[in-house]
Amino acid sequence: MKNIFLYLIVTVFVLFSFQYNVFAEEARQLDLKSEGAVLLDSETNAILYAKNADEKMYPASLTKIATAIYAIEKGNLDSIVTVSANAVRQDGTRVYLNEGEQVPLKKLIQGMLINSGNDAAVAIAEYLDGDVKTFAESLNSYLKNKIGVTNTHFTNPNGLHDENHYTTAMDLALITNYALKNPTFAEIFGTKVLDWQGQSWSTRILTHHRMLKGELPYPGISGGKTGYTTEAKQTLATTAGNGNLKLTAVVLKSDLKNDKYKDTAVLFDYGFKGYQHETINQGVIFKSGNKEFYPESDIVITEDVSGNIKTVNDEGLLSIENNNGQVLQKVQLKYKDPPKSKSAEIKSKKANKKESPLILLNTLIGLLLITGAGTLIQRQRRRKVSRYY
Residues assigned a catalytic role = 61, 64, 116
3-state secondary structure of 379: helix
Phi (first) and psi of residue 276, to 5 degrees? -150, 165
Is residue 67 within 8 Å of 61, Cβ to Cβ? no
| Residue 134 backbone dihedrals phi, psi, to 5 degrees | -65, -40
Contacts of 221 (CB under 8 A, 6+ apart): 211, 212, 238, 239, 240
Q: Please, what sign has the CA dihedral across residues 365, 368, 374, 378?
A: negative
List, in order, residues 6 or more apart from 248 with CB less than 8 Å away. Answer: 39, 40, 41, 42, 173, 176, 177, 180, 237, 238, 239
Give CA–CA dist 145/168, Å, rounded. 17
What is the C-alpha separation between 99 and 125, in angstroms, rounded? 15
Coil, helix or strand for 160? coil
Query: In 305-385, where do the E strands start and end?
Result: 308-312, 317-322, 327-332, 334-336
Question: What is the distance between the alpha carbons of residues 181 and 310, in angstroms, rounded to a whole number?
Answer: 27
> Please, are residues 87 and 255 in contact by the beta-carbon 8 Å criterion?
no
Contact 117/94 with Cβ under 8 angstroms? yes
- Asked whether the beta carbons of 329 and 320 are under 8 A apart, the reply is yes
Rounded CA gap, 180 and 66, in Å? 11
Query: Which one, of 301, 242, 309, lies nearest residue 48 by Cα?
Result: 301
Classify 117 as helix, strand or coil: coil
Cβ–Cβ < 8 Å for 42, 303: no
User: How many whole angstroms separate alpha carbon 333 and alpha carbon 315?
Assistant: 8
